[in-house]
Amino acid sequence: MVIRVGGEGGEGVISTGDMLAQASARAGLEVLTFRTFPAEIKGGYAMYQLRVSTEKILSQGDTFHVCVVFNGEAYEMNKDLLAPGTVLVYDSPGGDFQPEATEGVIQYPVPMTKISKVDLGSPISKNMVALGAVMQLFSFPVDSLKDLIKAKFKKKGESVVEMNLRALEAGAEYVRSHLKKVDRFYVQPAQPREDRIMLSGNEAIGLGALVAGCRFFSCYPITPATDIANWLSRHLPKVNGVVVQAEDEIASLGQVIGATFAGVKAMTGTSGPGLDLMVELLGFASMAELPLVIADVQRGGPSTGLPTKSEQSDLFLAAKGGHGDFPRIVLAAATIEDCFYLTIEAFNLAERYQIPVILLSDGALASRTEKIKRPDLSKIRIINREAYSGGGEYQRYAVTETGVSPVSIPGQDGGRYIATGLEHSETAAPKYSPDYHEKMTEKRFRKIAALEDESPETECEGDKDGDLGIISWGLTQCAVREAMKECADRGLRVRALYPKLVFPVPVKAIQRFASTVKKVLIPELNYQGQFAELVAVHAGVNAIRFNLYGGLPFTPAQIREKITEVIK
């Protein structure tokens, strides 16, 4: 079941959705949320969508089954999506609008404003009244919700807890005594499991960093990446780590560079505009061969663009941004699990190859919360940079077969060197001769020349000899996975490749994949077809492009329809 709550920003839409999601997760259900915020703090349309199921959920779904609207604006935003069989819960009598009678749409008027304002004398409890009504209508777990309310408002005092519980009960009671349920949607009971955690994409990046051994994080606030910093600010001090809010993104990456030079694993989190500013230092980090991680939570660009929305349009910048020739690695997360495990992978790759690694996420994934299997920390492998062990004259940039040279850290006797952005010799002395610039450029690129072979195999599913092969990256993989299931049910011969490493382009996997299918389709959330272009240039595979660039993620239905159209 997919339930959507819409209303004015600041009206409790997000907290209502959060409570439903948390309570469902506590009661043992799988949950996946999707939300859009206005870019303003108060006012503007805000939406929270919750998908809840007894089974693992792959994406946010195609549309909603139940829509709870707090005001006329939310109704206007959603009325075209109200299909026959869907349910509308709205504020009436006493609300600011009357819905049109739409054929087949089930309507439940609940006087949220009136009950909270007149009956309870507490206008701010409107969302709790709505929550109670929704709980009663669709059998959301009552006990979990009450426990959550008690926990959430405990700090504000007993009377606040009491008022919220009364509002919840008043909403439920109104449904019991005034409405007759005629829809077929309800939340099925499930068994709570101990081995589950629930977190957002940004929190998962924070947790991943913590587990990977990151002990220094520097940031500059930017939507939609700020939650990474917020989460780490609370938890890094517990592991003797440091979080600093720098004066700008240039300084954030600068601090990260200083920390990693000093031997401490370090990271910054940002979005496109911040990554723009970091590019000069990114080149420095690659030139000086310093391991570090940048999480880029993409939003709509260019310029300020769509700060609270989703786009996959920083790929060119991440993969190619910067002057001169320098290597870097770009990974892309598709799920909450990815946000966690790929952050660890990003640190491992950074340390192993002494190189900057960019992890791409996006606005939708950043704020999506999902219940996932609790990671088994004993199974996680952590890689540390190859350390200089002393002895002989130290050559920081010794030319080796792999390109990787052992690194010293300040404080280490005999390990002295100057980390430099100038072209340099093996001992890090400035050196500009043609042979050195060639030799050292080759050394730096050699580190990741065999990256694809040294990485886990790219995941693939579906029919061998498919009529169509889909290559997707980042969040788009979620919609593709769900669409793939439906295609299999309908007997369509489709194959899908799910790269996590997006740059360097996993050329071998893509070429192998392309040779098994008749056509290749690359759906992505950008105008230029950025990954499709990289795939064409690097792997020589020309794909059919499917681009959306409105700021919203793909739905499985959009992918399904495109598959049908292309196969025909």
Partner 1 sequence: MEISQPLKPKDYKSDVPPIWCAGCGDYGVLASLTMAFSQNNVKPSDTVLVSGIGCSSRLPYFVTTFGMHTCHGRALPIATGIKLAKPDLRVVVVGGDGDHFSIGGGHLPHAARKNIDLLLIVMDNSIYGLTKGQVSPTSRPGMATTTTPYGSPDVPVNPVAYALVYGASFVAQSFSSNTKLTTDLIGKALNHKGFAFINVISPCPTFNKVDTFEYYKPLLKNIDEIHPDKGDKVKALSLAITMGRNNGEVPIGLFYQEERPTYVEMIQEIKIRNKGTDHPELGRIMDILRP
Site residues (vs partner 1, CB under 8 A): 22, 25-26, 196-199, 203, 207, 210-211, 215-216, 218, 235, 237-242, 244, 246-248, 250-252, 254-264, 266, 280-281, 284, 288, 371, 374-375, 377, 410-422, 429-430
Q: Which is nearer to partner 1, 284 or 503 (CB)?
A: 284
Residues 245 and 192 sit within 8 Å (Cβ to Cβ): no
- ∠ at Cα 515 (509, 521), nearest 5°? 80
State the nearest-atom distance from the C-beta of 229 to partner 1, in Å: 15
Neighbours of 527 (CB within 10 A): 11
- Give 29 or 137: the residue with its C-beta nearer to partner 1: 29
The distance of closest approach from Cβ of residue 181 to partner 1 in the complex, given in angstroms and rounded to an integer, is: 27
Rounded to an integer, what distance in angstroms lies between the CA atom of residue 141 and that of residue 150?
15
Looking at the Cβ atoms of 123 and 390, the one nearer to partner 1 is 390
CB 382: neighbour CB atoms within 10 A? 13
CB-nearer residue toward partner 1: 195 or 489 = 195
Shortest distance in whole angstroms from residue 363 CB to partner 1: 21
18-20-21-27 Cα dihedral, nearest 10 degrees: 140
Shortest reach from residue 194's CB to partner 1, in Å: 8
Shorter beta-carbon distance to partner 1: residue 154 or 176: 154
Q: Which residue has tokens 């700021």?
A: 551
**What are the beta bridge partners of residue 81?**
none
Instruction: Supply the minimum distance, in Å, between the C-beta of residue 256 and partner 1.
Output: 6
Nearer to partner 1, 129 or 266 (CB): 266
How buried is 511 (Cβ within 10 angstroms: 0-12 exposed, 13-18 middle, 19+ buried)? middle
Say how far residue 191 (Cα) sits from the centre of its chain: 27
Closer of 305 and 415 to partner 1 (Cβ): 415
DSSP secondary structure letters along 137-186: HHT--HHHHHHHHHHHHGGG-HHHHHHHHHHHHHHHHHHHHH----S---
* CB neighbour list of residue 289: distance below 8 Å, 6 or more residues apart: 354, 355, 397, 405, 407, 444
Residue nearer to partner 1 on the CB measure, 61 or 375: 375
Cβ at position 192, least distance to partner 1 in Å: 8
SS3 240: coil
Instruction: For residue 41, give both structure tokens.
Output: 């703090």
- For partner 1, the closer of residues 38 and 263 by Cβ is 263
Following DSSP, what letter does each residue of 296-312 receive, concatenated?
A: EEE-B-STT-BTTS---
Smallest distance from the beta carbon of 20 to partner 1, in angstroms? 12
Question: What is the smallest separation between the CB atom of 387 and partner 1, expressed in angstroms?
Answer: 15
Angle (deg, nearest 10), helices 142-153 and 158-178: 150
Query: Which of 490, 507, 399, 377 lies closest to 453, judged by CA?
Result: 507
Instruction: Work out how close the CB of 250 gets to partner 1 at its nearest, in angstroms, rounded to a whole number.
Output: 7
Question: Among residues 38 and 421, whose Cβ is nearest to partner 1?
Answer: 421
Nearer to partner 1 among residue 308 and residue 361 (C-beta): 361
CB of 347 to partner 1, least distance (A): 14
Kindly calculate the radius of gyration of the chain based on its CA atoms and give it in whole angstroms. 26
Q: How far apart are the first and last CA of the chain?
A: 31
Q: Judged by CB, which is closer to partner 1: 208, or 300?
A: 208
Smallest separation (angstroms) from partner 1 to the CB of 518: 44
Measured from the CB atom, is 381 or 568 closer to partner 1? 381
Asked whether the beta carbons of 471 and 497 are under 8 A apart, the reply is: yes
Number of Cβ within 10 Å of residue 324's Cβ equals 9
CB of 203 to partner 1, least distance (A): 7
Distance in Å, CB of 408 to partner 1, minimum: 8
* Nearest distance in Å: CB 127, partner 1: 20
Report d(CA 200, CA 12) in Å as an integer: 19
Classify burial at 434, counting beta carbons within 10 Å of its beta carbon; exposed 0-12, middle 13-18, buried 19 or more: exposed
The b/e string for 261-282 (b: 16+ C-beta within 10 A; e otherwise) is bebbbbbbbbbbbbbbbbbebb
Measured CA to CA in angstroms, residue 223 lies from 90, 230, 279, 298, 389 at distances of 31, 12, 19, 9, 43
* Nearest-approach distance from CB 404 to partner 1, in angstroms: 20
Q: Please check whether residue 13 is in contact with residue 37, taking contact to mean a CB–CB distance below 8 angstroms.
A: no
Rounded Cα gap, residues 479 and 310, in angstroms: 14
For partner 1, the closer CB: 246 or 536: 246
Q: Which is nearer to partner 1, 144 or 298 (CB)?
A: 144
